[in-house]
Structure 1
């Protein structure tokens, strides 16, 4: 599991910017393009077979133990739906040492869901979970 900030960008479809013009006329000038309408927190859960679940946090919310516990419950139902048999064989969770991930409520929810939380290794570019999943 990892979290990252992503830019939310809603591009204009081609059909919205089309105009009738003569072949000899210059192309229409476009107004300044906005790069992004804001940043959104993305939480992503994956395994060796690919992405299991993603969650986009609502604007103005923060990651708390309660929020992360809810993600773990959703993860359990997604695992049951997408990865049949994985819950029986055991699920290992590797996440960073953020306060919400170490909260008592989060640890209790993980135990109830049957997840084992692995200790997070010290930071190293070679051990960063997100970097490893992109190769």
Structure 2
């Protein structure tokens, strides 16, 4: 890194747990997160991974919470990312009886995550330190 000598030297994190970038798939309802899936490191989220790994967890969690109705009458709002719109994903959602709500294009301010989920996560995780990424999902 080049520094001109006039500014402060930026702090560089040592490689480790805190400097790793990971993707989380979080499914939540009115009471908070019901499924948190951590995408394995150096893996890309694909429709296949989404359907085979994440949906399995979501279906199980919904069945536990609502055994009589299961996934029927479930509404899902997700963005327009490729894995969310893929044929495998839409077919699996249809088979589970999950209705997808249309996500308005270019409307990040309408995302429930920004005004509802992120504040809950911030409050639950505030002041805590974790040694492993997997420990985050237990909170």
Q: TM-score, normalised by structure 1?
A: 0.67
Match of residue 49, structure 1, among 19, 25, 31: 31
Change (3 A) 1:105 1:81: same
Is there any run of 5+ residues in structure 2 with no aligned partner, and where?
1-11, 120-139
Larger Rg: 1
1:62 equivalent in alignment to 2:44: yes
Pick the structure with more helix per residue.
Answer: 2
Change (3 A) 1:55 1:79: same
Deviations 1:13-39 (A, max 9, x none): xxxxxxxxxxxxxxxxxxx97472411
1:110 equivalent in alignment to 2:93: yes
Q: Is the 8 A contact 2:93 2:99 kept in 1?
A: yes
Q: For 2:60 and 2:24, how far apart are their aligned partners in 1? A: 19
Structure 1 position 126, deviation (Å)? 3.5
Structure 1 position 86, deviation (Å)? 5.2
Q: For 2:86 and 2:36, how far apart are their aligned partners in 1? A: 21
Change (3 A) 1:74 1:91: same
The size of the alignment, in residue pairs, is: 104
Q: Is the 8 A contact 2:47 2:86 kept in 1?
A: yes
Deviations 1:33-55 (A, max 9, x none): 74724111111000112111000
Greater RCO structure (CA 8 Å; 6+ sep): 1
Equivalent residue runs for 1:1-135 within 5 Å: 34=14, 36-70=18-52, 71-85=54-68, 87=70, 90-134=73-117
Structure 1 position 60, deviation (Å)? 1.1
